[in-house]
Amino acid sequence: MTSTIHATTPIEGQKPGTSGLRKKTPVFMRPMYLENFVQAIFDGTGGAQGKTYVLGGDGRYFNDRAAQVILKMAAANGAARVIVGQGAILSTPAASHLIRLNQTDGGIIMSASHNPGGPTEDFGVKFNMPNGGPAPESVTEAIYACTQRMHEIHMITASDIHLDKIGRVRLGEMIVDVVDPVADYAALMESLFDFRAIRAMVAGGFRMRFDAMCAVTGPYATEILEKRLGMEPGTVINATPLQDFGGHHPDPNPTWAHVLMEEMFTPNAPDFGAASDGDGDRNMVVGRNIYVSPSDSLAVLAANAHLAPAYKGGLKGIARSMPTSAAADRVAKALGVECFETPTGWKFFGNLLDAGRCTICGEESFGTGSDHVREKDGLWAVLLWLNILAVRGESVAHIMHAHWKRFGRNYYSRHDFEAIDTRHADAMMSALKASIPTLPGTEIEGMSIASADDFAYHDPIDGSVSRAQGVRIKFDDGSRIVLRLSGTGTEGATLRLYLERYEPDATKQDLDPQEALGPVIRAAHALAGIKEQIGRDRPNVIT
């Protein structure tokens, strides 16, 4: 078993995005592509000598082969130990927990999250820091800089490790611990929530449906919901992780989880429905005959978190991504705690969580989490909802309507325009940004624009500044439009259009969101010139 240095040259386009490097799987499978990026991770974070890492992924196509490459490179670069999930499987929140639990020097997560998987679909690799959270921009920039001057990679010559068997083996001088990917995470969840109360609710006839979308959360949900909480077998559907997610798009929203949505709006629907995504960090929540938007879910969870044992002492603060609705802001005000508005991307919550400035965080793209890990956590959000339902003894619909009556309703929706020609998308955003100074004081669709800007975030912990995070247009009546280009796609550009209107009148809180948002939608299209600039006026996905 020998360590070999392989000559290589820089490969263009290895700049990490919002959540690591994501490309089409055939791109990652090109000679030296994965190897160059992994070497850049080690080099850009001070080398691997003597360090301990966590390794796992969501089980998508190429996950198993990539794990073997990463292990051999870690050994050749001098790592002392790697903790890897059995079968190279770990949900993203479970990986974050293992990093923190074992006090490792970070972790490498193989996932493209909610993106499709398969031989021609998407793959991704990202580095998480010792706190369990995604690498901040300073680290991803250092990694990217290493990719641009890459000239050699280090790898040992050795047989593959059998990752399906739990236990300890050696790879060269490096220890490899293959661990149960579910056990530690499930124990953490049981320490946070009142499982006894939830089991009692289940024993009383409560029914649930959880769609794991043929993705990584299946084993976690089966263990916790069916085995530990006593829900009937079959509560978890699409429970077996598949390399291509069964040909489905593993994104938990009403469009891609339409089978669950249809069931929840039938006469004999379960009491509660939920879904999670490819790597287990996102969630969708739906009650019988009522869909809960991610922004509303964050607000309701924050308002009721004290009902769960882990949060009974109250929240230190709430943080939300800028495009997320202001519903959580009103909860924070009522609780008398700070509320932070950050750019999109979970890494921006890490400083706030580490500094003890907030407890619960959320973003509108179906991500919610707390200070128990440093990633969003789909199953955690579902379990907090179950804890709230068990303690309050009320339906999802009742809880939602009571919340709106108390705080007002933020009608909210996100329209995604996917696979747009990048040049057209950039031209549209450039033109919109150029118009920002002229917008305040103008009227459109009967609404007066109060302010407009290109959002910049000043981190209150480390003083860093992140600019150009999305265009915000605010109206006098509290309505709001946000436009930004997403960094999570692998083909063309994705325009995300966020639409919000506040309604304090309880008699006007039962409208269809798209109807209630009609004037805001029309104003957004006119202000950005969406059809003229990108040639399309209908989104691919509405959530």
Name which of 211, 204, 212, 193 is nearest 230 in CA terms.
204
Given 113, 293, 325, 413, which residue is catalytic?
A: 113
Count CB-CB contacts under 10 A for residue 125.
23
The C-alpha atoms of residue 18 and residue 315 are separated, in whole angstroms, by 27
The C-alpha atoms of residue 392 and residue 301 are separated, in whole angstroms, by 13
Query: Which 8-state DSSP code applies to residue 501?
Result: E
The C-alpha atoms of residue 468 and residue 500 are separated, in whole angstroms, by 20
191 is catalytic: no
Name which of 236, 213, 211, 214 is nearest 223 in CA terms.
236
What is the token pair recorded at 374?
């440093």
What is the token pair recorded at 218?
């299946």
The C-alpha atoms of residue 452 and residue 245 are separated, in whole angstroms, by 41
CB contact at 8 A, 38 and 16: no
Query: Which residue matches tokens 């965080």?
Result: 361
Instruction: Tell me the C-alpha to C-alpha distance, in Å, between residue 141 and each of 41, 113, 135, 395, 417.
Output: 11, 21, 10, 47, 28
Query: Which 8-state DSSP code applies to residue 161?
Result: P
The C-alpha atoms of residue 74 and residue 78 are separated, in whole angstroms, by 6
Query: Which 8-state DSSP code applies to residue 483?
Result: E
Instruction: Tell me the C-alpha to C-alpha distance, in Å, between residue 504 and each of 20, 402, 404, 410.
Output: 40, 13, 8, 8
Region of 183 (left: φ > 0; alpha: ψ -120 to 50; beta: rest) is alpha
The C-alpha atoms of residue 87 and residue 526 are separated, in whole angstroms, by 50
> What does the DSSP assignment read for 411-426?
EEEEEEEEEE-HHHHH
Q: Give the three-class secondary structure for 233.
A: coil
Instruction: Tell me the C-alpha to C-alpha distance, in Å, between residue 182 and each of 90, 217, 254, 379.
Output: 8, 9, 27, 12
Give the dihedral sign, CA 242/248/249/254. negative
The C-alpha atoms of residue 151 and residue 148 are separated, in whole angstroms, by 9
Q: Give the three-class secondary structure for 258.
A: helix
Instruction: Write out the E strands in 136-187.
Output: 152-157, 167-171, 174-179
CB contact at 8 A, 358 and 318: yes
Judged on CB neighbours under 10 Å (0-12, 13-18, 19+), 43 is buried
Q: Which residues are catalytic?
A: 113
